[in-house]
Amino acid sequence: MLRIGKLTDYATVVLASLAEEPARHRAAAELADRTRLSHPTVSKVLKGLQRAGLVVSSRGAHGGYGLARPPEQITAAQILDVFEGPIAITECSGAGSQCGIERQCRVGGAWQRVNAAIRRALEDVTLRQLAGLDSGALRIADLASEIRVHGI
């Protein structure tokens, strides 16, 4: 149903790899090796993440990338924003939207609420959780995933 781009998926994998040892910096080539992705692609992903402020970089020989913050302070929503852009679930949201039928359509508002709800859910998920580093990580399948929307 809903889809995120491959780039975002790659970003998650790369970040998860970095999260294993948050203190250490790693070169793009090393990350490419660990994640089994091609070097140019990992490089592109990291460039985006750096511009977004999720990772910090050091140039020159012995350079590399590291997490800008501890894994529990990086959320899925932040990762999504990097490559998916600020686009909302529907075209008709926010300023400058050229929907054309906004007048006779009351649907827009409801979708935006759904959108906001999803966003909040994504903000509750941290990189630490995505990377499976949480204490309860191994029992992940047993935990109850409870999600609820009130008053859409």
Query: Which 105-144 residues touch DNA, going by CB under 7 A?
Result: none
CB 150 within 8 A of CB 116: no
What are 57's strand-pairing partners? 65
CA neighbor of 77 nearest in space, from 151, 11, 150: 11
CA distance 96 to 88: 13
Closer to a second copy by Cβ: residue 95 or 145: 145
Phi, psi of 36 (to 5 degrees): 65, 25
Question: What Cα–Cα distance (Å) separates residue 139 from each residue in 12, 20, 66, 69, 115?
Answer: 21, 19, 28, 26, 29
Closer to ligand FES by Cβ: residue 35 or 57: 35
Query: Which 104-133 residues touch a second copy, going by CB under 8 A?
Result: 104-107, 109-111, 113-122, 124-125, 129-132
- Of 35, 52, 57, 116, the one binding DNA (CB under 7 A) is 57
Instruction: Verify binding: residue 93, DNA, rule CB under 7 A.
Output: no
Smallest gap, in angstroms, from Cβ of residue 6 to ligand FES?
9
CA distance 68 to 50: 9
CA distance 108 to 102: 8
Judged by beta carbon distances under 5 to 8 A according to partner kind, the member of a second copy, DNA, ligand FES, none in contact with residue 150 is a second copy
Site residues for a second copy per CB under 8 A: 1-4, 6, 9, 12-13, 16, 34-37, 76-77, 80-81, 84-92, 100-101, 104-107, 109-111, 113-122, 124-125, 129-132, 136-137, 140-141, 143-152
